[in-house]
Amino acid sequence: MIDVVMPQMGESIVEGTITKWLKQVGDKVEKDEALFEISTDKVDSEVPAEHAGILKEILAEEGTVVAIRAIVARMEAADGSSTPAAAAQAQPAAAPAAPAPAAPAVVAAPATAAPTSAAAGSVRSSPLVKRMAREMGIDLGQVTGTGQGGRISKKDIEAFTAGGGAAKPAAAAPSAPAGRPVTPAGGYDPFPAAPDSRFGDYYVEPLSTMRKAIAEHMVRSMHHTAPHVSMIHQIDCTPIVKARAAAKDKFLQQNGTKLTFMPFFLKAAAIALKEYPTVNASLDGSDVVMHRDINIGMAVALDWGLMVPVIKQADGLSVIGLQKAVNDLADRARKKQLKPDELAQSTFSISNYGGYGSIFGTPAINQPNSCLLGLGALHKAPIVVDDAIAIRTICYATLTIDHRLVDGALAAMFLEKMRSVIENWSESVL
Whether pLDDT at 109 is above 50: no
Distance CA 23, CA 31 (A): 13
> Rounded to an integer, what is the distance from CA 348 to the centroid of its chain?
13
pLDDT in tens, 73-82: 999 887 665 5
CATH of segment(s) 226-423: 3.30.559.10
Q: Are 429 and 244 in contact (CB under 8 A)?
A: yes
Name the 3-class secondary structure at 288: strand
Neighbouring-strand partners of residue 232: 398
Of 199 and 133, the one with more pLDDT:
199
Query: CB burial class (10 A; 0-12, 13-18, 19+) of residue 240?
Result: buried
224 Cα distance to chain centroid = 18
Residue length, the chain?
Answer: 430
CATH 3.30.420.40 fits 127-209, yes or no: no
> Do residues 61 and 18 touch, judged by C-beta distance below 8 A?
yes
pLDDT of residue 42: 63
Coil/strand/helix, residue 352: coil
At residue 415, does pLDDT exceed 90? yes
The domain ranges of the chain are: 2-107, 127-209, 226-423
According to CATH, the topology of domain 2-107 is: OB fold (Dihydrolipoamide Acetyltransferase, E2P) (2.40.50)
Active site residues per annotation:
403, 407
Give dist(CA 167, CA 378) in Å, integer: 48
Q: 319-334 and 238-255 helices cross at what angle (nearest 10)? A: 70
pLDDT in tens, 264-314: 999 999 999 999 999 999 999 889 999 999 999 999 988 878 889 999 999
Pairwise CA distance, residues 27 & 53, whole Å: 9
